[in-house]
Amino acid sequence: MPVYSLFLLIFFAVPGAILAMLLRRELVNYKRTILWCYVFVYTAGLLWDWLSHKTGLWRYDSAKVIGIWLDGLPVEEFVGFYLLGTFLIIGITLVIRKRVKNV
C-alpha cells in the first residue's frame, strides 16, 4: 500500500488545495517568490535529502511507496513532498501575511 502517497495526499494536497483557493490572486502576484522557493527546494533541498539518504539517516520501505526510485529516493519525494510541502509552507505564510496586514 502506498502509505507515503496517501500521507502526502491527506496532509499536504488537501490543505494545499484549500490554500490555493484562498490565495487565488496572491499566487499570481508573487509568482517569482514561489518560483525561487521551488528552485531552492529542488537544488539545496534535494542535496540535503540525498545526503541524508546516502548517510543512512532516513530510509524508505519499498512496500510503502509506489516503487519508482531516483537514486534511492522515491518519486513521491520529488512530486509530493517537494512540490506540495513547499506549497503548504508558501501558502500558510502568504495567508498569515494577508491576515496580519488586514488586522
Partner 1 sequence: MFNLWTYIGYTMLFCIPPLILLWLRREFFAILAENSKTITLSTTVLTIYGSLIWPIAIHYGAWTYTEGKFTGIKLFYYVYIDDVIWWLLVSFLFSSFIVLSAVYEKRGEDVFLHEVKGLLRSFKNALRGFKTIPLERNSTIHIAVAVFVLLEAVFLKLSTVELFIVLILIGLVIALEMLKTLLIESQSRIRCRNSPHKRYGSGRCPHRIQCGVYRRS
Q: What residues line the site for partner 1 (CB under 8 A)?
A: 3-4, 7, 11, 29-30, 32-33, 36-37, 40, 44, 48, 51-52, 55-61, 64, 86, 88-90, 92-94, 96-97, 100-101
Contact between 100 and 31 under an 8 Å Cβ cutoff? The reply is: no
CB nearer to partner 1: give 21 or 102: 102
CB nearer to partner 1: give 51 or 70: 51
Q: Tell me the C-alpha distance between 33 and 5, whole Å.
A: 27
Q: Tell me the C-alpha distance between 93 and 97, whole Å.
A: 6
CA terminus-to-terminus distance, the chain: 45
CB nearer to partner 1: give 21 or 56: 56
